[in-house]
Amino acid sequence: MRVAAIHRYPVKGLDAEPLENVALAAGNGLPQDRRFAIFLGARREGPVRLVEAGPLSFSDLPANCVSLINLASVRELEARLGTPVHPLRFRGNVYLDGGAAWEEFAWVGRQVNAGGVTFRVGSRIPRCAATGVNPETAERDLNVVKGLQKTYGHHDMGVYAEVIVPGTLAVGDLVEPRDAAAPSWLGRWGRVARFWLRNVVVFFRGRA
């Protein structure tokens, strides 16, 4: 399996910025990834504010992380649903290719070497309704969560990983899982935290 693409999202929920390579520090995600978020307030019509993250990016976890997406899994879902599924619906940081579908789920609790970086994979990524938005048209045209649940009995796609050995990651780098390791606290708490942290952090920083 190799790195097929690298993306960051300077403003959470908006367009991806492709990168050919990136230097990753231990305990951090991609530099400038999810640095900003749009704070809508109580009313849909406004006022709208752009808020900036502090040491913790506007991710869905109480820790900085990198999301890994296996393109073989996306293609397998696409085949089962019988309709195109754009990989950027999942807003991953690192897209991988060359392996088996759903292989990445077996990495939870293990370390993975990718280029000059070592990750610890903490948890699978449960998906939300945002994946229903087509990244090319901005239309809600596919219920990805329902499709995953109906087809596989879960609504997960990709895995969260912590950088534990810093280094440079580049498109084309080889990706190799290592021996099993104890799951991190990120994996134990990730599923719970992602549902409340996003709204709580954005709310309080927007009011600051």
User: Within a 13 Å sphere around the CA of 156, how many CA atoms are in the beta-carbon half?
Assistant: 20
State pTM to two decimals: 0.84
Q: Over 60: is that where the pLDDT of 199 sits?
A: no
Which two tokens mark 39?
Answer: 């704070």
Closest to 2 measured CA to CA, from 70, 102, 66: 70
**Residue 62 · residue 85 · CB < 8 Å:** no
Helix (H) or strand (E) holding 51: strand 49-52
**pLDDT tens, position by position, 64-76:** 999 999 999 999 9
Task: Kindly report the average pLDDT of the chain as a whole number.
Answer: 88
**pLDDT tens, position by position, 107-138:** 999 999 999 999 999 999 999 999 999 999 99
Q: Over 70: is that where the pLDDT of 58 sits?
A: yes
The pLDDT value recorded for residue 45 is 74
Q: Over 50: is that where the pLDDT of 100 sits?
A: yes
**pLDDT tens, position by position, 148-176:** 999 999 999 999 999 999 999 999 999 99
Which two tokens mark 184?
Answer: 């991190």
CA angle 121, 122, 123 (to 5 degrees): 110
The pLDDT value recorded for residue 186 is 53
